[in-house]
Amino acid sequence: MNKVKSYLVFSILQIIANVSAAEKYSFLVVGDPQYLAEKSHSPKRLDPYSETANSRAIALLKSFSGRSIPEDHGGGKVSGKILGLINTGDLIDSADKNGANYPAMQKFEWERYKADYGLTGKDGLIPFPVYEVHGNHDGPQGDTFIVADIIERNRKRPGIVNRSDNGLHYSWNWGPLHCINLGIFAGEGGKRRNDHHYAPRSSLEFLREDLAREVGKSGRPVIISFHLHPNCPEYDWPKEDLEAFWKAIKAFNVLALFHGHTHGSPPNRIMWDGQQFSSKLAEGIEVFNPDDIGAAKTDPKTPGQGVGLLHGFLYVELIDKKGTKEDRLIVRSYATRDNWQSHDWHTTWNRNIKIPDRKN
């Protein structure tokens, strides 16, 4: 009996040791909720389809921890300790428009976004911190009151380790993972260039400084989030900025780029090797589109009918085991085709990564 007891104790200790040797870091990536108010100089409610999409999505996010993961997506359950939520922009719908009812709609939409998503995980409807960037619907040139409020929110955002001089771009750490948010896209200079569309607000300058200061030669893994897809037209993301962006990140252990804007449904992934974008590339950086989480609205051509009813988001797990041979990045998509009335797991991407062992 003593030998049996000893064996059982030893086995239990080995199991505990194996579990403790593997750390899991879990978070969510969403994009484009695009809260849309009713068209009124004094709005009291959202467009009905926007209301349905976003209220259902928030309820789903609120209860997402502990959800079962099917065996064909790896099995297990969603972590009970989701570290936070990255929102890749277009938080509201109306801040790229002027005049008429739009100023009042913008204020209503923005207050509703903040009330739903909160900031710290304790002041909104979802129980984890939020890390958003701005999109074109939040202010194409990055000069709206919404962008100013994001800058103010960055002063209070949990865990921030670095902020840009203008306060808009920022970074934080989740365990070994370094996370960087770069606004609408990665580009040099504060303002829009002639013959191009959007203002980068000096995001590329911040990226270079942050990688040098916070990552250096450590080899620690990095993820970067922004609004535009990097394979978008040059009118939106200038060619010279895209080339400079690749040059800035290619020497680092960048695991993934997350963007919004395209509403690609279901959520999808491509690879980028600095020269081309393709889902068939064997090497490169993974570029993920979480789809939009709530950009539904009444069809202007068919009143009473909704458009944009397909949505999705991503659940991401970073698995850090002792050594670097068994470290993993797992990205699972979750999607709906009917404005979140029904929903389920869709696609899982799973690959080996390298996370250097940290010194105690």
Using left for φ > 0, alpha for ψ between -120 and 50, and beta otherwise, residue 95 falls in alpha
Tokens linked to 115:
């009330």
Domains in the chain and their CATH numbers? 25-352 (3.60.21)
Using left for φ > 0, alpha for ψ between -120 and 50, and beta otherwise, residue 157 falls in beta
184-237 pLDDT, tens per residue? 999 999 998 888 999 999 999 999 999 999 999 999 999 999 999 999 999 999
- Alpha helix stretches (DSSP H) within the chain: 2-21, 48-62, 102-117, 145-154, 203-210, 239-249
pLDDT for the residue numbered 83: 98
27-53 pLDDT, tens per residue? 999 999 999 999 999 999 999 999 999
82-101 pLDDT, tens per residue? 999 999 999 999 999 999 99
Share of the chain above pLDDT 70, in %: 94
Give dist(CA 349, CA 95) in Å, integer. 34
Judge contact between 340 and 56, C-beta under 8 A.
yes
Quick check: 20 pLDDT over 70?
no
pLDDT for the residue numbered 324: 74
Quick check: 3 pLDDT over 80?
no
Average pLDDT for the chain: 93
